[in-house]
Structure formats: structure tokens, C-alpha cells
């Protein structure tokens, strides 16, 4: 094949002609965590990309005012680029925001104030992969090397909660402010959706009470892995005490205490792996975390790790160092849910 033939055989470009960003507010129940209660509405943004070939793609991300302004600015700068030029897109995003080390603009999704470039880039990457898949007539997983599995297990996510927001009617799930309420919530959720694991948002009630609830869940649903996440609400000594009391009960303990040093101190004493979506939330956190042995499971989230290709890169790094990979989640719409599933088991120790 001549060079000229090779060039002409290359797929035609698909140029971005328009980018729109639409904020969406949707109902959020009165779920409790260590910092308070979820607001009545959660905010997300849907990013839509149109092309000169008539193909459209969608992505989803956060919708704070500052993030929306950055999405609009970056979106405008991407018009004219080929939807396959993802590296150029990431570079253009970084340039527009002030470079790879762009200033942190505050936390999004309850996680991190860092990785601004990756957070802004991610929904555009997902939308462009959506278009690439449509153009090629294949699912996006094929663009990433092919599906690893046909089904992905999901975890039930239990919250202590009020019956309703102040002044509003109770929601269908009702109140859950004690062990009986949480176990009832779990039973209903597992019966309805068939979840194979259970996660409890903790850090709401005194640790002793939450330990009792976790034990009750383990007893009520034998064989279902239980995970506990107090959002770094506990001290190192409290975290170690809880970890020891839940030995054999909890699959992994998520962010018991703040910071890499605190997590490393807990990890040295805890009988189960520690997971995080709070202290390892950007590529530059991986090396110091591995060096300290602070975290054994990274809870990935393509919204701030920079999209699907960079989540796959994260998966490779986790594999190299024997770390597990699971998913972080927060209030989101269907576009995110479709894009999320990725997991890797930690290397047994
Ligand atoms: Mg968490």
C-alpha cells in the first residue's frame, strides 16, 4: 500500500460544530452524612457535542457555577477539533485553564479540589467517545479494548435519613435513624434491585452505634460484602478501634480518617483493606499513597480522574501496585451511570 493510499484510507474527520452545556436540578432525598444532610436538589450538567457528520454525543458532570463557566469556556475552544483528537482536546483544556497544574477551584462531588483540568475535560471525552462509537457502529467499550465482563456487580448504598426534607412530605423510603431502620432499608433495596454488596454511609451516629448496625447488616445478609464509609469523620484511634471490632465483618473500610498519613496509620493496624475517594483522587497522589501503604482500594470516578481513557490508565497503575479498584458514586443521572462501571480486585496479601 502506498503512503498516499494509506492516507486516503484513514477515516474521514468528524469535526465538532457545537457544544452545549445544560444544568439539571433533580430531587435528592434527605440523606445524612458526617457534614449534614443532602439538599432537596442535586445539580448536574449534561454536555452535548454536535458534529459536521450529524452525529451527537453526551457526557455528564458537576454543575456548580464556577465549573459551568469553565465548561462553557472549554466547550467553545473545542469547536473545529476532530472528535478523535482527545489528546489535543486535553492539551487545549489545560492551556485554557492555565496549564496542567491549573489552580484548584474548590471541591466538586464531595471529593477533591484538585485535578481541575481532568474534571473539566472528562465530560467532553465521554461525549466524543460516544460519537466515535456511533461513527464506528460499536459500543464505547470496544474503543477501549473490548468489554472485560458482561455484567458488573453494583452495591446497595444505605444512608441514615430523615423521612422527608423539612416542610416536605415523607419520601417513599421513610426514616432510617437506627439499626432497625437501616436493616429495613437494606432489605427493601436488595429485594427490589438484587444488589450483591452493601455500603453504609457512616460518620452520622456515634461509632459504637454504627458498629452495631454494620454487625446487624452482616448477620441479616450473610455472604454479601459490607463496606463502611464515614467520610473521614473518625480519628486514627477511633478508626483502628472500629476496624478491629469489625474484623471479618467488613470487606473494606472507606476513608475512616483524613489524609494519607492518617490512613497509613490506620492501614498498619486494620485487619481489612482501606478504600478511598478522598485522599487518592488524582494521579499525583498515587506514588505517595503506595509509598506509605495508605490505601488498598482506589474508588475511581471518571468525572475527576479525567474520563474513560485515564480511568483505564488508573486501572493499569492500580494493577501494577496490587491495588483494588472500585467505583465512587454520588448523585448523578443516567449518562454517568452508563459510563461508570470499572473495577479490579486488590491483589491478595
Ligand atoms: Mg466515599
Residues 165 and 137 in one domain: no
* Ranges assigned E (strand) in the chain: 16-27, 32-33, 36-37, 41-51, 56-62, 155-158, 197-201, 226-229, 252-254, 274-276, 297-300, 324-327
CATH code of residue 56? 3.30.390.10
* Calpha distance 325→299 (Å, rounded): 6
Establish if 335 belongs to a structural domain.
no
Relative to beta strand 56-62, strand 41-51 is antiparallel
Cα-to-centroid distance, 309 and ligand 1 (Å): 22
Domain's final residue, options 112, 143, 174 = 143
Q: What is the mean pLDDT of residues 76-105?
A: 86
Tens of pLDDT along 223-260? 999 999 999 999 999 999 999 999 999 999 999 999 99
Relative to beta strand 32-33, strand 36-37 is antiparallel
Backbone dihedral angles phi then psi of residue 259, each to the nearest 5 degrees:
80, 155
Establish if 286 belongs to a structural domain.
yes
Establish if 120 belongs to a structural domain.
yes
Q: Which residues contact 302 (CB under 8 A, 6 or more apart)?
A: 122, 126, 308, 310, 311, 339, 340, 342
Half-sphere exposure of 156 (CA within 13 A, CB side): 25
Q: According to the model, what pLDDT value does residue 347 have?
A: 60
* Calpha distance 21→71 (Å, rounded): 7
Residues 166 and 71 in one domain: no
Establish if 47 belongs to a structural domain.
yes
* Higher-scoring residue by pLDDT: 338, 71: 71
CATH code of residue 183? 3.20.20.120
Cα-to-centroid distance, 127 and ligand 1 (Å): 26
* Calpha distance 227→34 (Å, rounded): 16
Domain's final residue, options 111, 143, 175 = 143
Cα-to-centroid distance, 273 and ligand 1 (Å): 14
Domain's final residue, options 114, 143, 172 = 143
pLDDT band, residue 272 (cuts 50/70/90): very high
* Calpha distance 258→306 (Å, rounded): 23
Is 328 annotated in the active site?
yes
Establish if 239 belongs to a structural domain.
yes
Q: What order do you get walking across the sheet with 16-27 strand by strand?
A: 16-27, 41-51, 56-62
Q: According to the model, what pLDDT value does residue 112 have?
A: 47
pLDDT band, residue 109 (cuts 50/70/90): very low
Q: What is the mean pLDDT of residues 169-187?
A: 97
* Calpha distance 158→299 (Å, rounded): 17
Which protein residues have a CB closer than 5 Å to ligand 1 (ion)? Answer: 229, 277
Residues 169 and 291 in one domain: yes
In the three-class reduction of DSSP (H, G, I as helix; E, B as strand; rest coil), residue 159 is classed as coil
Q: At what angle do helices 308-320 and 116-136 cross, to 10 degrees?
A: 110
Catalytic residue (one of 134, 302, 328, 332): 328
Cα-to-centroid distance, 15 and ligand 1 (Å): 38
Residues 164 and 78 in one domain: no
Establish if 307 belongs to a structural domain.
no
Pairs from 207-215 (Cβ < 8 Å, separation ≥ 24): 207/234, 207/238, 207/241, 207/242, 209/178, 209/179, 210/242, 211/242, 211/245, 211/246, 212/179, 213/178, 213/179, 213/182, 213/183, 214/246, 214/249, 214/250, 215/246, 215/249
CB 288: neighbour CB atoms within 10 A?
Answer: 14
The C-alpha angle 304, 93, 143, rounded to 5 degrees, equals: 65
Residues 167 and 289 in one domain: yes
Cα-to-centroid distance, 162 and ligand 1 (Å): 20
Domain region containing 280: 155-295
Tens of pLDDT along 53-67? 999 999 999 999 999
Instruction: Assess contact for 16 and 79: CB atoms under 8 A.
Output: yes
Q: How many domains does the chain have?
A: 2
Cα-to-centroid distance, 314 and ligand 1 (Å): 18
Q: What is the pTM of this model?
A: 0.91
Catalytic residue (one of 67, 161, 199, 201): 201
Cα-to-centroid distance, 328 and ligand 1 (Å): 6
177: closest CA among 207, 209, 155?
209
Instruction: Assess contact for 72 and 200: CB atoms under 8 A.
Output: no
Residues 70 and 179 in one domain: no
Residues 180 and 268 in one domain: yes
Residues 219 and 100 in one domain: no
Backbone dihedral angles phi then psi of residue 31, each to the nearest 5 degrees:
-85, 140
Establish if 27 belongs to a structural domain.
yes
Instruction: Assess contact for 91 and 81: CB atoms under 8 A.
Output: no
Is 199 annotated in the active site?
no
Establish if 218 belongs to a structural domain.
yes
Q: According to the model, what pLDDT value does residue 151 have?
A: 82
Amino acid at each position: 500500500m502506498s503512503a498516499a493510499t494509506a492516507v486516503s484510507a484513514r477515516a474521514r474527520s468528524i469535526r465538532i460544530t457545537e457544544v452545549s452545556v445544560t444544568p439539571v436540578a433533580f430531587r435528592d432525598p434527605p440523606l445524612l452524612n458526617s457534614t449534614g444532610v443532602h439538599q432537596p436538589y442535586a445539580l448536574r450538567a449534561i454536555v452535548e457535542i454536535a458534529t459536521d457528520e450529524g452525529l451527537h454525543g453526551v457526557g455528564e458532570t458537576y454543575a456548580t457555577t464556577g465549573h459551568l463557566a469553565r465548561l462553557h469556556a472549554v466547550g467553545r475552544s473545542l469547536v473545529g477539533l476532530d472528535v478523535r483528537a482527545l489528546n489535543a482536546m486535553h492539551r487545549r483544556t489545560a492551556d485554557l485553564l492555565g496549564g496542567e497544574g491549573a489552580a484548584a477551584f474548590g471541591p466538586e462531588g464531595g471529593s477533591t479540589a484538585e485535578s481541575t483540568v481532568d474534571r473539566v475535560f472528562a465530560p467532553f471525552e465521554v461525549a466524543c467517545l460516544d460519537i466515535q462509537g456511533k461513527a464506528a457502529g460499536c459500543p464505547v467499550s470496544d474503543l477501549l479494548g473490548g468489554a472485560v465482563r458482561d455484567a458488573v456487580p453494583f452495591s446497595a448504598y444505605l444512608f441514615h435519613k430523615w423521612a422527608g426534607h423539612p416542610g416536605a412530605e415523607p419520601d417513599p423510603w421513610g426514616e432510617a435513624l437506627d439499626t432497625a431502620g437501616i436493616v429495613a432499608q437494606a432489605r427493601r433495596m436488595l429485594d427490589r434491585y438484587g444488589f450483591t454488596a452493601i455500603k453504609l454511609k457512616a460518620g452520622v451516629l456515634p461509632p459504637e452505634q454504627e458498629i452495631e448496625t454494620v454487625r446487624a447488616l452482616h448477620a441479616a445478609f450473610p455472604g454479601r460484602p459490607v463496606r463502611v464509609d464515614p467520610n473521614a469523620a473518625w480519628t486514627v484511634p477511633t478508626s483502628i478501634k472500629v476496624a478491629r471490632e469489625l474484623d471479618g465483618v467488613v470487606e473494606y473500610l472507606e476513608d475512616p480518617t483524613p489524609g494519607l498519613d492518617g490512613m497509613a496509620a490506620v492501614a498498619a493496624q486494620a485487619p481489612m483493606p482501606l478504600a478511598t475517594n478522598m485522599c487518592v483522587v488524582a494521579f499525583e497522589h498515587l506514588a505517595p499513597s503506595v509509598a506509605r501503604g495508605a490505601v488498598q482500594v482506589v474508588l475511581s470516578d471518571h468525572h475527576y480522574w479525567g474520563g474513560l481513557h485515564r480511568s483505564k490508565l488508573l486501572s493499569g497503575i492500580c494493577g501494577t501496585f496490587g491495588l483494588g479498584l472500585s467505583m465512587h458514586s454520588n448523585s448523578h443521572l443516567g449518562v454517568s451511570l452508563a459510563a461508570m462501571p470499572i473495577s479490579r480486585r486488590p491483589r491478595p496479601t
